Each structure stands twice: as structure tokens, then as C-alpha cells.
Amino acid sequence: MVNLFDYINWIAVIAAALAYFMLGALWYSKLLFAKRWIADLKIDVNNPDAKKGMGMMFGGSLVLMFVQCLALAILAGRIEGITNTWISGAKLGALTGCCFCAASVGVNYLYEKKPVSLFLINAAYAIAGNIIAGIIICCWQ
């Protein structure tokens, strides 16, 4: 019997998680969506409490992204027809990003009555992050 983790390329999973995390640094920066994201969340950037716990948030985000990338690697190794190509990785990432991440975020936002613009920013980040992670994982199997 094959262990679930026997075929995992751990370096690829770590690289994918780091790439996903670095995408977040760009995605939520002033270059892209920071202004709209801050406005939608009604964050007072001048409040000193707004920055408390940032290390825990960043560290926790990285751990959760690692978990996502590990799941992508498991799926990549188990789904028939997934090849070691960037297109397979992009398709896997788009599928998981849209069907798991964005859909889950969307359900929460419906009940929390958050702005559509916030959903679009966060869901698109999850989709893009999963696509990048999928490409790294599939190309590096």
C-alpha cells in the first residue's frame, strides 16, 4: 500500500507556498489592491492596534498556504491525467482555486454581507495563488 505522502516533492510544496505568500505581498500592496481592500474592510491604518499581531497573521498565513499546497500536491499525484506540465498545474490550480477557495470565500461573504469588490479581490487572489502553486507543483513532480 502506498503512503499518501510517498510521492510528495516537499521542496516543490515549500516553493509553491512561498510563491503563493509572495504573491500576497504584491496583491495586497499599494501597487495593486491595498487601497480598495483597506477601504472595504474599513481599516484605520493610523490606529496602532491595526498592526498588532501581524507576525502571527503572516506566519499563520504561510502555514495555511503550505497546507493548501500540500493538498494540491496530493491531488496532482492522485488525479488521473495530471502531467508534469505547466498547463496541468494551471488547470488544477484554477479548479481548486475557483471550486474550493473562491466558492468558500463567497459563501462566507454572502452571510457576512461583505462588499462584492472585497470578494473579487480575495477570491481572485486565491485563484491566482492556486494557479501559481499548481504550476510549480506539477512542473516539479
Domain limits, the chain: 10-139
Q: What is the mean pLDDT of residues 109-119?
A: 95
Distance CA 102, CA 118 (A): 12
- Number of other CB atoms surrounding residue 28 within 10 Å: 16
Radius of gyration of the chain (CA): 16
pLDDT surpassing 70 at residue 18: yes
Q: What is the mean pLDDT of residues 33-53?
A: 90
Question: Structure pTM?
Answer: 0.92
Distance CA 54, CA 95 (A): 30
Question: HEC string of 6-42?
Answer: CCCCHHHHHHHHHHHHHHHHHHCCCCCCHHHHHHHHC
